[in-house]
Amino acid sequence: MTRSGSFQPPMSLQCELTVVSRIDIRYILTLSTSTLRLHFAEAGSLRYVRPPQRSSPLITHRLFTAFFVGFCMSSATVAYSAPPDFAHDIAPILREHCGKCHIGANKKGGLSLNTRATLLTGGDDGKVIVPGKSGESRLYAAVISRDPDVQMPPQGARLTDAQVAKLKEWIDAGANWDEGFVFQKPSYEPPLKPRRPELPPTVSQRSHPIDRLIDADLAKQRRQRPAALDDIAFVRRTALDLTGLLPSVESIKEFLADKSPDRRTKWIDQLLADETAYAEHWLTFWNDLLRNDYGGTGFITGGRKQISKWLYQALIENKPYDQMARELISPSPESAGFSEGIRWRGTVSAGQTVEIQFAQSVGQAFLGINLKCASCHDSFIDRWKLDEAYGLAAIYANQPQEIHRCDKPIGRQAVASWLFPELGQVVASDPQPERLKQLAELMTHPDNGRFTRTIVNRLWQRMMGRGIVHPVDAMQSEPWNADLLDYLAVNFAENRYDLKQTIKFIATSAAYQSQSEVIDPQADQQNYTYGGPRAKRMTAEQFVDAVWQITGSAPRTYDAPVVRGKADGLSPELSKLTAQWVWSTAEGSSAVPKAGEAITIRKQFTLPAAPTRAGGVFTCDNSCDCYVNGKKVFASTSWERIEGVSLESSLRAGNNEVLIVGKNGGSDPNPAAILCEIFVRLPDGTSQTIASDATWEWSSTLPKPDGKFAKAPQDWAKAVPAANQGVWGSRINGEVLTQLTHVALKPQRMVRASLLKADFLQKMLGRPNRDQIVTTRPNELSTLEAIDLNNAQPLADSLVAGSKTWVQKYASQPDRLVDNIYLTLLSRMPTTEERALSVEALGPSYDEQSVQDLLWAVLMQPEFQLVR
Amino acid sequence: MTRPVLESLDLFGSESEAFARRSFLKQLAMAGAATLAMNEPKLLRAESVEHPRPTADSCILLWMGGGMAAPDTFDPKKYVPFEVGVPVKEIGSTFPAIDTVVDNIKITKGFENVAKILDRGTLIRSHVLPDLGSILHSRHQYHWHTGYVPPQTVACPHLGAWMARVLGPKNPVMPPFITIGQRLEGVGESEELKAFTTAGFFGSEFGPMVLPYPDQAAQSVRPPKGMEAGRFESRQRLFQKLLDRSPQRDRMSDFQQQSYLRSLDGAHRLLSSKDRAAFDLSLEPKESAELYGASQFGRGCLLARRLVESGARFVEVTTEYVPFLNWDTHANGHETLVRMKQEIDQPIARLILDLESRGLLDRTLVILASEFSRDMIMEGKPGSTANDQTSFPVEKLAEMKHYGQHRHFTGGSCVLMFGGGMKRGVLYGASAQERPYVAIEKPISVMDLHATIFTAMGISPKTTFEVEGRPFYPTEDGQGKAVRELFL
């Protein structure tokens, strides 16, 4: 932290403000709220007047500004300039013209400008500045001098007249300095290129590369190696870290029964092989990092898009991270939500346009670089400059980007460029999609070690409780073990950016499989040294999932627009497709179907009961919009891209209607057809299939975009199966079956909290509003959160629901009940004492209430809430 | 969070306020240092920022969400009664002006009770809001409640969260930041409302306790439904016994575990304390409860009074913002406002009188405000690009539904301030007598109004926290200046 103050002119100065003829907009902007800023932006030209009274000039000036700026009064007579603001006006001049010799380690002539104190002390020849008196200040004399022996800087560009005037004004105003501001080159600059460190020798057979590095570190710090994690704690920690779920009692027993020496590795492999559990746990991490959610600010005005489908699929497939990054930076429509950011209706400050948001998000998510400061002015906290933030923004921009400094245009256009030209540069003159591709390549360039270090550090933090660079979004900071970070990064790249591989790499180390550190806050102030992994508080999602796991009270539906799990395998129940490709005519003759022709086709049908499970597949050559009972369920512009659509919540008992608006493409008549197959499971276990065929009807009347007709069509006629079904079917029928099986027949797993919009409990327990990228969840419980844990109704309701099952299962077997509660919640057996206490609390004839209370009392234990 | 609310607040118990405050700040500074490693925003310059001497210890914000039309409430203009064929542009107010207890102040009909207590407060008629180029109520409300126009690079804390963070609770067991009357689920723009009903980067320790229904507030501080007090206590005892016998006892010194347990303990103390009776409106004597009326807002005011009596720090009571309802009149404005006034007139007056009779008004700052005003014909303000959103853009009145302030007006609005060191019986600022009714005298921005509120509460507008390496202030760039003229 270097800049902590805000500029406040001394009172004397306020009363002696120089009268000048021009308007200093900077002053207005420095002082103004965004209110005034916006007024200014709209008002165009404006004047600034001296207030009638002088009692409290600053306040009154501002009030008048508000008024006059806002309402274009032009009767202004006198305007006057503001005193210079140190951080914005003076620091850049000193840095630019004096930095080479007098900043950081440089003290030419004994003069350092690093702090106000060193400036006032002066150099070998004495003082260079007399606050309040520019005429007596040698620094001022030197910058205006023409004498080559005296002038400063001795070589290079002189200060401009405006800069000289600012400097003079500043000295005369007392040479104020923002408190705490220090000029210095950052003491640490992270390396760009990857580096493969030499591994220290193996000690005590701990040969895992991470352990060789960590053991050497521990030895150097003279710290004890943390004790190894026992099996039970290992099982619990890995299950929660890798899949976000409590390990089931059966899986724990299986693990303990396995006596092979590599059972821990097998266990880790097994967890990571569960694609759905893995994806739905890590979804939370990625949603936070890419600020993706299923609801939130911006959606209401259409200013924001989800990337949920793309992201879910990427995690299910374990898509290589470099490919993910490329697809996020140079996106398809499915992944574009990340780069497009949040577009607010109305005026937005220059530091939050979507182009600047792009620069900030790309910098933070992929590089752990904070460009938020630099998108307003040259950063005071790291090396990033305004031009660099704008350069990145300009890669994304479709219009020229005028650089704004603190919301004020500086008269220069940004040039599309990225942050590390050492690796190459984008071609600023290329069209935007090209530039984005170039950026994607540069970001994932094999020599970009910062890209890989940033992500492995995030994974390390998630699993080990604290980053190797910490905080994880301040990657300019020095790692506590550079070799470890570099090794992980190189290893990650060598494993083709395989996220699961790195997670496994960490999880299989003895370092990870160690007991977590007992943290003494006093000993942890400045110089962190590694003393073992740190406990993590359960995320909101983990806690909610765990409650659902032990009470069976997860909801049936979820908000994420995804079909869960991996589409693979078929079911004997759905071995063949029954649907036919249909249109208004059978054949593509030379005249029909016309290019661009659109028709509506429908099917009305009844169901004896609301389905317990239902899914469908819709497609059309060339495009379609699909509605079920008046609700739009699907739209497609590519007939070959097949996707299952979940329909449980759309279909109902009684009459149902499927309506598809199909549109032909092309420029000449060409074949067109629609295909739809829906599979419905009814409560009695039977199934029903609704599939497009000659019983469907078509009409040339099209509904409005909401799926409703302005006037009911009168021309419904029978749909006609296409003459040559194989044209389409041969290419995609297999995929249609796979997707339909996936959406309608695959066993449903417990819905996970990560798939739901944030409800009150999740928000209370720290799930962020994903308006901004938030990569670190609060690690500590607040009192308000604790109140909710005590009395939140959803939690109480879950416990009520769950207690029934527990009581039924272990009626009049209090010992077994207690053992299983401990096993399920804490993954271990209770001690004799714990069992006795719990059994006593349950009472001789325990009921659901006493079980609820025991469940709660165990849920609240730190042993449950902290992942150790 | 390293500074559990309860621990730090024990300091307030027996000691003088001034001393407690000093110790508190010291504690806060220490907490700041301790959080360093935990990646939390830290307080900068705790020693060097000089907090003003507070003139209020509690704050109640009466929020008129949806845009309270100044000409039809506290800033009467030319009154023209409804008549078919009247050109809309000739109408200033749709309510006639009435006298108040203060000689030079007139307000509009329907506020007969507020008229009688205006000698207890200051009426500001020159509050200036930003015109954001397009009206989205919740975006303006975000600005008014946090001092920052969204989008922002960090999640900004609500006014109440600043008070919770810097001052902490007044009564150790009373949550320092409570909002009453606004649902955050199931209403339009709810995501946008949630975005500012939060402690933002301060973390949930300083976030709001949200009480959408005043009559159900008691449930928030009660054991869950169906759990009687005895069972609640025995459940707690079981938890404690299991904790004491946990095989992981050796972790008791762990920093994170300690803090976790402190928070749980704090929650239990509130849930079993006498003070939670304040949340229970059924305990209010019938006679005094009736004086607040039966409206949700009236019940909210009653609850706010009870909470402040029990030592709440910041309470917001809203008329609830729901798009197109309440103050958000896109049509039928006059008749809607007749109802709104019936719902709020009596409770506002009663709240002030009750605070006064209990000797609390002097140290309780009550503010009534809205995200902007409304106008019969002007959308935004002169020169605005905002789209006209009235449901019935007519030149002349034809039906009653045309009669009312149906456009959003950002050029000037009204604010009421009572107690807490503010002047009494005073009019501050003025708007133009002719349309556009922009603030022309002593305009006061959101930033300076906030600075005034913070200053009254004893928080310097320059208080600085660091988040992501950036200094962050309660008023933008620490530039807010309290309007001294408003203070006694």
Q: Say whether the peptide bond before residue B347 is cis (omega within 30 degrees of 0).
A: no
- Looking at this protein, which amino acid is placed at residue A789? L
Q: Which domain holds residue B455?
A: 5-486
Residues from chain A contacting residue B50 (CB–CB below 8 Å): none
Contact B136 A62 (CB under 8 A): no
Q: Which residue has the tokens 């004498």?
A: A147
Distance CA A774, CA B191 (A): 17
Distance CA A401, CA A412 (A): 9
User: Mean pLDDT across the stretch A315-319?
Assistant: 97
> Residue A591 has what pLDDT?
66
Contact B130 A300 (CB under 8 A): no
User: Mean pLDDT across the stretch A177-188?
Assistant: 68
Residues from chain B contacting residue A524 (CB–CB below 8 Å): 37, 255
Give how far the C-alpha of residue A221 lies from the chain's centroid of Cα atoms, to the nearest Å. 35
CA distances from residue A379 to A83, A91, A600, B380 in whole angstroms, order as listed: 22, 11, 58, 35
> Residue A751 has what pLDDT?
94
CA distances from residue A116 to A129, B233, B281 in whole angstroms, order as listed: 10, 60, 59
Q: Which residues make Cβ contacts (< 8 Å) with residue A569, sequence separation at least 6?
A: A738, A741
Question: E strands, A622-705, where?
Answer: 623-628, 631-636, 644-646, 654-663, 673-681, 687-691, 697-699
User: Mean pLDDT across the stretch B263-282?
Assistant: 90
**Least confident residue range of A451-455, A621-625, B111-115:** A621-625
Q: Which of A296, A344, A833 lies at the smallest CB-CB distance from B245?
A: A833
In this predicted model, what pLDDT tens digit does every residue of A465-506 receive, in sequence order?
A: 999 998 899 899 899 999 999 999 999 999 999 999 999 999
Distance CA A22, CA B143 (A): 32
CB A619 within 8 A of CB A750: no
Nearest-Cα residue of chain A relative to residue B236: A857
In this predicted model, what pLDDT tens digit does every residue of A586-638 receive, in sequence order?
A: 775 556 788 888 999 999 999 999 999 999 999 998 899 999 999 999 999 88
> Residue A360 has what pLDDT?
95
Of residues A730 and A232, the one with the higher pLDDT is A232
> Residue A522 has what pLDDT?
63
> Residue A524 has what pLDDT?
55
Interstrand relation of A536-537 and B464-467 (parallel, antiparallel or unpaired): unpaired
Nearest Cα of chain A lies from the Cα of B380 at a distance, in angstroms, of 12
Nearest Cα of chain A lies from the Cα of B319 at a distance, in angstroms, of 21
Taking residue B10's Cβ as centre, other Cβ atoms within 10 Å add up to 12
Of residues B390 and A214, the one with the higher pLDDT is A214
Residues from chain B contacting residue A771 (CB–CB below 8 Å): 150-151, 155, 195
User: Mean pLDDT across the stretch A571-585?
Assistant: 88
Taking residue A275's Cβ as centre, other Cβ atoms within 10 Å add up to 16
User: Mean pLDDT across the stretch A631-649?
Assistant: 89
Give how far the C-alpha of residue A820 lies from the chain's centroid of Cα atoms, to the nearest Å. 38
Cα angle at A142 between A136 and A147, to 5 degrees?
125
DSSP-derived secondary structure letter, A515: P
Residue A60: pLDDT above 60?
A: no
Interstrand relation of A582-583 and A720-721 (parallel, antiparallel or unpaired): antiparallel
CA distances from residue A738 to A78, A302, A391, A675, B42 in whole angstroms, order as listed: 77, 33, 45, 15, 53
Residue A147: pLDDT above 60?
A: yes
> Residue B74 has what pLDDT?
98
Token representation of residue A781: 């419980």
**Where would I find the H helices in B221-290?**
229-244, 255-271, 286-290
pTM, rounded to two decimals: 0.79
Nearest Cα of chain B lies from the Cα of A135 at a distance, in angstroms, of 31
Q: How confident is the model at residue B178 (pLDDT cuts 50, 70, 90)?
A: very high
For chain A, the average pLDDT equals: 85
Q: How confident is the model at residue A63 (pLDDT cuts 50, 70, 90)?
A: very low
Token representation of residue A338: 């990340």
**Least confident residue range of A147-161, A188-202, A301-315, A502-516:** A147-161
In this predicted model, what pLDDT tens digit does every residue of A267-291 receive, in sequence order?
A: 999 999 999 999 999 999 999 999 9
Nearest-Cα residue of chain A relative to residue B467: A1
Nearest-Cα residue of chain B relative to residue A775: B39
Distance CA A746, CA A691 (A): 20
Q: Which residues make Cβ contacts (< 8 Å) with residue A572, sequence separation at least 6?
A: none
DSSP-derived secondary structure letter, A87: I
> Residue A156 has what pLDDT?
80
Q: How confident is the model at residue A747 (pLDDT cuts 50, 70, 90)?
A: confident
High-pLDDT (> 90) share of chain B, %: 68
Burial A457-483 (b: 16+ CB within 10 A, else e): bbbbbbbbbbbbbbbbbbbbbebbbbb
- H/E element holding B417? strand B413-418
In this predicted model, what pLDDT tens digit does every residue of A433-445 receive, in sequence order?
A: 999 999 999 999 9
Of residues B312 and A118, the one with the higher pLDDT is B312
Contact A342 B151 (CB under 8 A): yes
Nearest Cα of chain B lies from the Cα of A97 at a distance, in angstroms, of 26
How does DSSP assign A419-473, residue by residue? S-GGG----TTS-HHHHHHHHHHHHT-TT-HHHHHHHHHHHHHHHHSS-SSSSTT
Q: Which of B133, B175, B468 lies at the smallest CB-CB distance from A372?
A: B468
CB B74 within 8 A of CB B125: yes
Nearest Cα of chain A lies from the Cα of B488 at a distance, in angstroms, of 17
Q: How confident is the model at residue A197 (pLDDT cuts 50, 70, 90)?
A: very high
> Residue A523 has what pLDDT?
57
CA distances from residue A448 to A193, A325, A390, B319 in whole angstroms, order as listed: 6, 13, 21, 54
How does DSSP assign A589-635, residue by residue? -SSSSPTT-EEEEEEEEEESS--SEEEEEEEEESEEEEEETTEEEEE
In this predicted model, what pLDDT tens digit does every residue of B195-220 receive, in sequence order?
A: 999 999 888 788 999 999 999 999 88
> Residue A761 has what pLDDT?
83
- The residue among B413, B428, B486 whose CA lies nearest residue B455 is B486
Q: Which of A349, A772, A866 lies at the smallest CB-CB distance from B154?
A: A772
CB A721 within 8 A of CB A582: yes
Contact A785 B263 (CB under 8 A): yes
Nearest-Cα residue of chain A relative to residue B149: A34
Q: At A690, phi and psi to the nearest 5? A: -115, 115
Taking residue B393's Cβ as centre, other Cβ atoms within 10 Å add up to 13
Q: Which residue has the tokens 């963070």?
A: B165
Look at chain B and report how many structural domains it folds into: 1
Q: Which of A344, A781, A841 lies at the smallest CB-CB distance from B151?
A: A344
CB B468 within 8 A of CB A370: yes
Residue B19: pLDDT above 70?
A: no
Q: Which of A38, A760, A837 lies at the smallest CB-CB distance from B131?
A: A38
Token representation of residue B446: 């959101």
CB B337 within 8 A of CB B404: yes
Nearest Cα of chain A lies from the Cα of B82 at a distance, in angstroms, of 31
> Residue A34 has what pLDDT?
31
Distance CA A207, CA A214 (A): 11
Q: Which residue has the tokens 């600047």?
A: A356
> Residue B5 has what pLDDT?
29
High-pLDDT (> 90) share of chain A, %: 56
Q: How confident is the model at residue A113 (pLDDT cuts 50, 70, 90)?
A: confident
Distance CA A223, CA A208 (A): 19
Residue A31: pLDDT above 80?
A: no
- Looking at this protein, which amino acid is placed at residue A542? Q
User: Mean pLDDT across the stretch B389-402?
Assistant: 91
Q: How confident is the model at residue B324 (pLDDT cuts 50, 70, 90)?
A: very high
CB B70 within 8 A of CB B412: yes
In this predicted model, what pLDDT tens digit does every residue of B57-103 receive, in sequence order?
A: 999 999 999 999 999 999 999 999 999 999 999 999 999 999 999 99
- Work out whether the CA dihedral A231, A233, A238, A244 comes out positive or negative: positive
Work out how many CB contacts closer than 8 A connect A with B.
Answer: 328
> Residue A185 has what pLDDT?
62
Contact A70 B470 (CB under 8 A): no
Contact B130 A39 (CB under 8 A): yes
Distance CA B115, CA A757 (A): 46
Is B365 in a helix, a strand, or coil? strand
Q: Please report, for the domain that includes residue B477, its CATH number.
A: 3.40.720.10
Residues from chain A contacting residue B153 (CB–CB below 8 Å): 351-352, 360, 372, 375, 772
> Residue A864 has what pLDDT?
95
Contact A837 B241 (CB under 8 A): yes
Residues from chain A contacting residue B408 (CB–CB below 8 Å): none
> Residue A333 has what pLDDT?
92
Domains and CATH numbers, chain A: 18-80 (no CATH), 86-172 (no CATH), 279-380+387-443 (no CATH), 572-744 (2.60.120.260), 783-867 (no CATH)
> Residue B44 has what pLDDT?
58
**Least confident residue range of A291-305, B246-260, B448-462:** B246-260
Contact B260 A866 (CB under 8 A): yes
Nearest-Cα residue of chain A relative to residue B383: A42
Q: Which of A67, A296, A783 lies at the smallest CB-CB distance from B191?
A: A296
**Least confident residue range of A4-8, B111-115, B149-153, B207-211:** A4-8
Distance CA A673, CA A580 (A): 9
> Residue A617 has what pLDDT?
94
Q: Which of B205, B242, B257 lies at the smallest CB-CB distance from A837?
A: B242
**Least confident residue range of A88-92, A399-403, B23-27, B46-50:** B23-27
CB A157 within 8 A of CB A98: no
Is B98 in a helix, a strand, or coil? strand
- H/E element holding A179? none
A432-443 vs A321-329: helix crossing angle, rounded to 10:
160
Contact A781 B263 (CB under 8 A): yes
Nearest-Cα residue of chain A relative to residue B139: A344
